[in-house]
């Protein structure tokens, strides 16, 4: 294992673990607040990464794809939080809230990493490792939030769309879920997902964070 790969893993490890852990915990917490305590009873409303990491999807698959493609294509997943949607007080709109909680949590984390980078600069901390980690935290969370909003089950955006569509259309879309993972994997591998979904929305979210960066930078420079 070369030094550059070790450095990359060290920079991305904390942001990725937080992104995955808080994303899944947010689903479980939203379900708990909206009437289903399944995830809570199984200990999945937790900040312990070990409760959310899937050995194959979170570790083996991304590393394998990284080596096979020389870092040009990486994909993975965490253990889904179990939710019994029929237990929600309002199954239709509750499922929307549960699904949206994960990506929303990632966007909030991206903002938190922006804030952390501002704090580092304010205290005169210019250590490249920490700066790279903060930038990685911003990027990882934007990508994870945007990817999960893709409107195809089992991704969160697909479940949001199922809740918003008329019942018959929503049911028809939900039936794709068993094939959804393979469709998404194909779209990512082919570059279609990146070109028409990830890249445009990543740029949009980045521009929003950049618009917040200037006043935050001014604030911390005056403190």
| Active-site residue (options: 15, 24, 140, 198) | 24
For residue 72, pLDDT over 60 is answered with: no
pLDDT beyond 70 at 199 = yes
Rounded percentage of the chain residues whose pLDDT exceeds 70: 90
Tell me what pLDDT residue 45 has: 92
Is 24 an active-site residue? yes
SS3 letters across the chain: CCHHHHHHHHHHHHHHHHHHHHHHHHHHHHHHHCCCCHHHHCCCCCCCHHHCCCHHHHHHHHHHHHHHCCCCCCCCCCCCCCCCHHHCCCHHHHHHHHHHHHHHHHHHHHHHHHHHHHHHHHCCCCCHHHHHHHHHHHHHHHHHHHHHCCCCCCCHHHHHHHHHCCHHHHHHHHCCHHHHHHHHHHHHHHCHHHHHHHHHHHHHHHHHHHHHHHHHHHHHHCC
**pLDDT over 80 at 148, yes or no:** yes
Q: Which of 63-77, 113-127, 164-178, 206-220 has the lowest mean pLDDT?
A: 63-77
Q: What is the pTM of this model?
A: 0.89
Q: Residue 117: pLDDT above 80?
A: yes
- What pLDDT sits at residue 185? 85
Give me the pLDDT at residue 37, please: 95
Residue 27 has pLDDT above 60, yes or no: yes
Find which of 25-29, 115-119, 179-183 is predicted with most confidence, using mean pLDDT. Answer: 25-29
* Residue of 104 and 216 predicted with greater confidence: 104
Return mean pLDDT, the chain.
Answer: 88
Query: What value does the mean pLDDT take over residues 16-22?
Result: 90
């Amino acid at each position: 294992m070369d030094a550059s790969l070790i450095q990359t893993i060290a920079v991305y490890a904390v942001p990725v673990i937080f992104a995955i852990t808080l994303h899944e915990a947010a689903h479980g917490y939203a379900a708990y607040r909206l009437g289903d305590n399944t995830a809570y009873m199984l200990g999945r409303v937790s900040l312990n990464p070990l409760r959310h990491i899937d050995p194959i999807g979170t570790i083996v698959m991304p590393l394998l794809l990284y080596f096979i493609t020389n870092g040009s294509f990486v994909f993975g997943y965490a253990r889904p939080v179990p939710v019994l949607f029929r237990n929600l007080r309002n199954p239709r709109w509750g499922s929307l809230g549960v699904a949206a909680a994960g990506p929303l949590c990632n966007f909030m984390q991206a903002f938190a990493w922006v804030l952390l980078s501002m704090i580092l600069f304010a205290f005169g901390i210019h250590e490249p490792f920490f700066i790279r980690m903060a930038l990685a935290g911003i990027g990882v969370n934007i990508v994870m939030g945007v990817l999960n909003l893709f409107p195809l089950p089992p991704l969160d955006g697909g479940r949001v769309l199922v809740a918003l569509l008329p019942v018959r259309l929503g049911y028809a879309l939900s039936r794709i879920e068993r094939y959804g993972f393979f469709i998404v994997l194909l779209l990512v591998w082919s570059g279609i997902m990146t070109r028409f979904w990830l890249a445009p929305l990543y740029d949009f979210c980045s521009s929003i964070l950049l618009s917040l960066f200037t006043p935050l930078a001014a604030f911390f420079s005056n403190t």
